[in-house]
Chain A
Amino acid sequence: MTKYVIKRILLMFLTLFIITIMCFVLIKLLPLPAVREMGKDINLVLMRREKMGYNRPIMVQFFLYIKNILTDWDWGVGEQMYEGLEIWDVMMQKLPYTVVVNLYSILISIPLGLGLGIYAALKKNKWQDTVISTLVMVFISVPSYVYAFLVQYIFCFKLNWFPLQLASLSQAGSLFSGKMFISMVPAIMSLSFGVIAGFTRYTRAELSEVLTGDYMLLARTKGLTKAQAISRHAMRNAMVVILPMIFGEFIGILGGSMIIENIFGIPGIGNLYVNSITVRDYNFFMALNIFYTLIGLVSGIVIDISYGFIDPRIRMGSKK
């Protein structure tokens, strides 16, 4: 198992390296935007460009870029937005918003999704299951921004329960204050519908497959009640597939949803990414590309490895 994990992690870094180098070269091939005159920052940006070797061959620039990251944790400075500010600092400043909103959403979605999924699986082919499955189908298909508009229109505008946009930090006091939470509710709701539907579908599919297993019959024959059999045997086996998915979602909350952040004005990492593309700030763009690629890779690995940790059968299989 350890060998497998190490192999996967090394492979991940190789992939990351290749994607980074491709991105870097492609970005460097684009015409370099001029530094905007914003007062004192311009010299800082120009000095930084000198340090990063902007007038040297692209491959040299790439190694300087990697070297700066590895030795000084220096990701460059903003050139077209947040002029002169360290990219890492700006990212770390944005990240909490994304994480908090998505964390709330996941914490709501997991119990609801699992609960609905279990209920649907137990009532399979009865009307409750049909209703849940139909709703799941609808909620999975409809794009998240459609909910966002609906939520905004109904709850924020018509009923006036929540503000249309996220409260600013100065208004709300802190990221965890009640006021902040209230203003996050619309975004959390819009994010959650799809995730809940996803969990429900997955749980229902897994559990209803597990429920038909022979060992479930055996559990009942040896005298367990239905509830005991489900909680001790069926759920455990269904979790083998469901838990890794949950772990994957947890890694995914770092990335957030660009479109939801855009609609509700959440100053998160997704918004930063979109802005960096709009204003063509390549330093931000590059750093965020690495960030997003890494999230994808890590969540893939976490899912794969957690299968092995959860299920001894898979662990044994990997030794062969």
Chain B
Amino acid sequence: MTHQQIPDIPKEKFTFINRSEEIHDEKLQTKAIGYLGDAWIRFRTNKSAVVAFVLIMILLLFAIIVPLVSHYTVAFRDGYYKMVLPKNNLFAGSGFWDGAKNEQQSEAGYLYLNAIGQETGESAIVKVYESFQDSTGATFYRVRTDSYASVGFVYVNLSENEYNALMQYQEDTGIQVLYPLPQTLSKHFVRGNDGANFWYLLKDEAQGTTGAPQLDENGQYIANYMSSDDPQRAGYTSTRIAGDGENGVYYTYAQKNQTGYRVRVHYKEYFNYINGFYASFLFGTNVYGQDIFTCLAVGARFSLLLAISVAVINFIIGVIYGAIEGYYGGAVDMILERISDILADVPFMVVATLFQMHLAAKVGVVPSLLFAFVLTGWVGTASRVRTQFYRFKGQEYVLAARTLGASDRRLIFKHIFPNSLGTIITGAVMTIPGVIFSESMLSYLHIINLDTSSTLTSIGTMLSNGKDYLSTYPHILFFPAVFIAILEICFNLFGNGLRDAFNPSLRGADD
């Protein structure tokens, strides 16, 4: 380029532009956006990821709060409210989520449920849709039965103190809990709780009953209580049911035995007396009478806690290991790579099982599971970190920093690592759904066994408890299955959102 020569410009023609202050570069008017801020802006625009994140937070809150506020615990096992249906008191009587289900009952079954309603005043049959006769002439009813009310009565053994306290409770509140004992059935018709619901006379009892009641001429049940002329038999001084004490005949409310008293209680009221609230299980109960709602929260808390700790531990180990491999390269890399190769090839099931066999008895089921996840889990993170290090370590700014005398540690953690952070965090989040799945699978197959634990349960355990009742009580399976499905979908969506936010170039690569 040739310069055009301008000869002889007189000196006066030159003026200073700005003499009053120093000249700076113009300051940026906008605020600088950092790496994370930038990612956050991109993440925000991804609606499905944001929804997934909100859902994860809700599920997390559910898992944290529910076990704290719930009436029930994992250790709570009710022997009578087994496999009762989901019930929300807000929906009582609405025909949905009310703890009732539609079923078909024979005449004997219909009258059995009806009798419970008659004695307690709270009907076990919510609704009768229709009755019909089959080809043999037997009558059947299509009814909606309340799974809570159909528990009806149970026999319990009380100590002397408990017995007196319960009588006192009856007098104080006016709620009838104790009901007269029926005559012992000569042939036990096995239905309900040890026959505690048969307070009425049965047909054909001499020949072996079918459970159908003997009705009087008005079609009413005939009471079949134990009775005597002593109103205070077995020390009973409390309130009596209607119709008791007529003609000097008093029903018997308790029997003395070696340890105390055997009584017959209305289970709904008795449950309230013992626990201080009426039974109502939002998601129903399982085969052990555990509250599914609480178990689900405890199981979710366990899964999430395990998955997040695994992700964090694997992140730390993986980053250190991968950084050493990637930064130093050469022989160090070769040797470390072979070790992680071998670890990566060990099937996870083998590791998990061996850890359970060796360590479960010594350090507990959960820590040994955690070890199993950590042992092979960090390999993925390490190889990701290694790749990122190979990518960045030759770049000019790293060389410049090295020339300025930065130490290895400073180069690794200040210069290279922050640049690869996005990819690594995404990878760590993506391991969470995998861990949740593996954990539920292992506990489903009983390779890790949480059945006996009184404080812990897992979604897999709940699923395996429910699988035999798929056709009869699908709610036992339904809630854990839906829960884990939502959890997995949310974590995958969230992970994808993170990946897109950190690496815009990969957007949509495999979603």
Asked if A19 CB lies within 8 Å of chain B CBs, one says yes
B349 touches A292 (CB 8 A): yes
B489 CB contact (under 8 Å) in A26, A133, A137, A259:
A137
A296 touches B510 (CB 8 A): no
- Complex interface residues of chain B between 497 and 511 (CB less than 8 A to chain A): 509-511
Which residues of chain A are within 8 angstroms of B437 by Cβ–Cβ distance? 143
Q: How far is the CB of A187 from chain B (nearest CB, A)?
A: 14
B474 touches A143 (CB 8 A): no
Which residues of chain A are within 8 angstroms of B493 by Cβ–Cβ distance? 137, 141
Asked if B103 CB lies within 8 Å of chain A CBs, one says no
Known: A19-B342, A29-B358, A259-B445. Contact between A143 and B349, CB under 8 A? no
Q: How far is the CB of B429 from chain A (nearest CB, A)?
A: 13
A143 touches B484 (CB 8 A): yes
- Cα A23 to Cα B355 with chains together (Å): 11
Residue on A nearest B488 in the bound complex, by CB:
A141
Chain B residues near A (Cβ < 8 Å): 341-342, 345-347, 349-350, 353-354, 357-358, 433, 437, 440-441, 444-447, 463, 467, 470-471, 474, 477, 481-482, 484-485, 488-489, 491-493, 496, 509-511
Residue on A nearest B447 in the bound complex, by CB:
A277
The 9 closest A-B pairs by CB, nearest first: A205-B510, A141-B489, A141-B488, A141-B492, A142-B485, A157-B471, A292-B347, A146-B481, A289-B350
A23 CB contact (under 8 Å) in B350, B488, B496:
B350
A141 touches B347 (CB 8 A): no
- Cα A18 to Cα B489 with chains together (Å): 37
- Cα A23 to Cα B474 with chains together (Å): 40
- Cα A23 to Cα B349 with chains together (Å): 12
B470 CB contact (under 8 Å) in A22, A157, A258:
A157
Which residues of chain B are within 8 angstroms of A146 by Cβ–Cβ distance? 481-482, 484-485
9 contacts between A and B (CB under 8 A): A19-B346, A19-B350, A23-B350, A138-B489, A141-B433, A145-B441, A152-B470, A278-B446, A292-B347
Find the residue from A23, A143, A263, A278 having the highest chain B CB count within 10 A. A143
- Cα A62 to Cα B510 with chains together (Å): 45
- Cα A164 to Cα B467 with chains together (Å): 12
Which residues of chain B are within 8 angstroms of A29 by Cβ–Cβ distance? 358
Which residues of chain A are within 8 angstroms of B440 by Cβ–Cβ distance? 143
Which residues of chain A are within 8 angstroms of B509 by Cβ–Cβ distance? 205, 209
A26 CB contact (under 8 Å) in B354, B481, B484, B511:
B354
Which residues of chain A are within 8 angstroms of B477 by Cβ–Cβ distance? 149
Q: How far is the CB of A155 from chain B (nearest CB, A)?
A: 12
Which residues of chain B are within 8 angstroms of A285 by Cβ–Cβ distance? 353
B358 CB contact (under 8 Å) in A15, A26, A142, A297:
A26
B488 touches A293 (CB 8 A): no
Known: A143-B440, A146-B484, A149-B477. Contact between A293 and B345, CB under 8 A? yes
- Beyond the given pairs A23-B350, A262-B444, A274-B446, 13 more chain A to chain B contacts, judged by CB atoms under 8 angstroms and listed by A's residue number, are A133-B511, A136-B511, A137-B489, A141-B433, A141-B493, A142-B485, A143-B485, A149-B470, A153-B470, A205-B510, A273-B349, A274-B445, A277-B447
- Complex interface residues of chain A between 134 and 160 (CB less than 8 A to chain B): 136-138, 140-143, 145-146, 149-150, 152-153, 157
Asked if A162 CB lies within 8 Å of chain B CBs, one says no
Which residues of chain A are within 8 angstroms of B492 by Cβ–Cβ distance? 137, 140-141
Asked if A202 CB lies within 8 Å of chain B CBs, one says yes
- Cα A277 to Cα B342 with chains together (Å): 23
Which residues of chain A are within 8 angstroms of B482 by Cβ–Cβ distance? 146
- Cα A98 to Cα B327 with chains together (Å): 45
- Cα A30 to Cα B354 with chains together (Å): 9
Encode contact with B along A4-29: 1 for CB under 8 Å, 0 otherwise: 00000000000100110011001101
Which residues of chain B are within 8 angstroms of A137 by Cβ–Cβ distance? 489, 492-493, 496, 511
A277 CB contact (under 8 Å) in B353, B470, B485:
B353
Which residues of chain A are within 8 angstroms of B342 by Cβ–Cβ distance? 15, 18-19
Which residues of chain B are within 8 angstroms of A258 by Cβ–Cβ distance? 349, 441, 445
Find the residue from B445, B477, B485, B488 having the highest chain A CB count within 10 A. B445
B488 touches A297 (CB 8 A): no
Q: How far is the CB of A110 from chain B (nearest CB, A)?
A: 18
- Cα A273 to Cα B348 with chains together (Å): 13
- Cα A138 to Cα B486 with chains together (Å): 9
B347 CB contact (under 8 Å) in A133, A205, A209, A293:
A293
- Complex interface residues of chain A between 114 and 148 (CB less than 8 A to chain B): 133, 136-138, 140-143, 145-146
- Cα A157 to Cα B477 with chains together (Å): 14
Encode contact with B along A201-234: 1 for CB under 8 Å, 0 otherwise: 1101100010000000000000000000000000
Q: How far is the CB of A15 from chain B (nearest CB, A)?
A: 5
Q: How far is the CB of A90 from chain B (nearest CB, A)?
A: 19
- Cα A296 to Cα B358 with chains together (Å): 24
Q: How far is the CB of B157 from chain A (nearest CB, A)?
A: 37
- Cα A205 to Cα B471 with chains together (Å): 40
Q: How far is the CB of B393 from chain A (nearest CB, A)?
A: 22
Q: How far is the CB of B380 from chain A (nearest CB, A)?
A: 14
A293 touches B474 (CB 8 A): no
- Cα A271 to Cα B188 with chains together (Å): 41
Q: How far is the CB of B470 from chain A (nearest CB, A)?
A: 6
Residue on A nearest B510 in the bound complex, by CB:
A205
- Cα A277 to Cα B447 with chains together (Å): 7
